[in-house]
Structure 1
Amino acid sequence: MANSGADKIKLYSYWISSCAHRVRIALALKGIDYEYIPVKLKGNQFDPDFKKINPMGTVPALVDGGVVINDSFAIIMYLDEKYPEPPLLPLDLHKRAVNFQAMSIVLSGIQPHQNMGVIRYIEEKVKINAEEKTIWVENAITKGFTALEKLLVSCAGKHATGDEIYLADLFLAPQIHAAINRFQINMEPYPTLAKCYESYNELPAFQNTVPEKQPDAPSTI
């Protein structure tokens, strides 16, 4: 399924943002053609033109004609309803609830604590050093990963809640990628999450949406 010309969806993104990464996966899974508009989160997120699109000055932001959505979860649910194949939520009510739980752990329990804006604010206000910053981030990730491992161990298949890709996977993949590549988290205590991550790395929708392959990624990382 593709959009073209004036109808093409616009995604305001930043290469290393795990929130934008989730949306890129959703767009790839749905086969939706879109225009990638980079927003550097160290300056031009405060540009007045971008603030008109998203007053929070954060990514992702999705523009679909006259529709503007500025939250990754809301964007993914919008895309899933507008483009229902493949579905991002299972029919089974228990599996659906597990997907929402996993999404929530990442969305509220992990990612906000490693967010660049939050870390910068803490550095400025509390004057923490690099070691303390690392401890802060590692604590949030390990606490969340411990909860996710317990949640998913009994229902995981190739992916988080079976052999199909669902909502939980869209949130897990960017979070695990960031944990390993940005924060050097040891995945040995989380075998279920590590197995899921291995399966993601075999799928084009995940391979092609990693931060390092985005047009605004630095040439040397």
Structure 2
Amino acid sequence: MQLHSFFNSSTSYRVRIALALKGLAYDTLPVNIRVGEHRADDYVANVNPSASVPALIDGDFRLGQSLAIIDYLDQKYPEPRLIPLERELRARVLELSALIACDIHPVNNLRVLRYLDAELKVTPQQKTAWYRHWIAEGMAGIERLLERSNAGPWCFGAQPTLADVCLVPQIANALRMDCDLRAYRRSLAVYEHALKHPAFDAAQPQRQPDYTA
């Protein structure tokens, strides 16, 4: 397998965690989204029509979008399962994962922040305020979901799921952007627990071959 990835992309980070949890070997093919390599004609035509990372190549099969990739991996390599089969637990895991993947991440990713800069001409202070506002909105919701589940040490019990795979990169990004996360005690506890796991550690941005400080 091959993974088109950017070290600091939280969506790529999710897939790296999933691959590591499942013990699957893959080659990393770096795509530098900071300089627009994800928009190159060849990449869009032959790798990922959505002009984004990550993209997984498994033989003749090519797939973009992190949640679709992780679901594909779960179907093909079901151990350990990241999206539970039990109906209510599956729904809870998908609920928290969607809060991150659909509510928090899309409004704070690189292309949105660049649009704020280039097209709307916001100040650096306004852009920071934008980022921190949506982090606070989303993290408050995550914290309430974790309080309701009252599980641990992972989001939903004794094993990592898709929820943890989504949460860890989101917190890492928020910390990188100097967001104050002290109010989200349960979320930080999951994050700190996860980083002690070899799979989560191996997937960190600084462990990637294309990492730059």
TM-score under structure 2 length normalisation:
0.95
1:72 counterpart = 2:30 = no
1:166 counterpart = 2:158 = no
Give 5+ residue unaligned stretches, structure 2: none
**Matching of residues 1-150 of structure 1 within 5 Å:** 9-41=1-33, 42-52=35-45, 53-150=47-144
Aligned mates of 1:84, 1:154 — CA distance in 2? 27
Which residue identity is paired with 1:97?
A
Aligned partner (choices 189, 209, 212) of residue 215 of structure 1: 209
Aligned mates of 1:48, 1:124 — CA distance in 2? 23
Aligned mates of 1:90, 1:104 — CA distance in 2? 15
The alignment partner of 1:126 has SS state of coil
TM-score under structure 1 length normalisation:
0.92
1:187 counterpart = 2:181 = yes
Could you tell which deviates more after superposition, 78-87 or 117-126? 117-126
Match of 2:152 in 1: 157
Equivalences, count: 210
CA RMSD, 1 decimal: 1.0
Which residue identity is paired with 2:19?
L
Q: For residues 146-182 of structure 1, give each alpha carbon's deviation from its aligned partner in whole angstroms, at most 9, with x where no partner exists.
A: 00100111323101011111110000010011111x2
Aligned mates of 1:186, 1:33 — CA distance in 2? 36
Aligned mates of 1:101, 1:154 — CA distance in 2? 12
CA shift for structure 1 position 201: 1.1
Q: For residues 127-164 of structure 1, give each alpha carbon's deviation from its aligned partner in whole angstroms, at most 9, with x where no partner exists.
A: 00110000111111110000010011132310101111
The alignment partner of 2:148 has SS state of coil
Give 5+ residue unaligned stretches, structure 1: 1-8
CA shift for structure 1 position 94: 2.3
Which residue identity is paired with 2:41?
P
Aligned mates of 1:91, 1:43 — CA distance in 2? 38
- Is the contact between residue 71 and residue 83 of structure 2 (CA under 8 Å) also seen in structure 1? no
Match of 1:175 in 2: 170
The alignment partner of 1:154 has SS state of helix
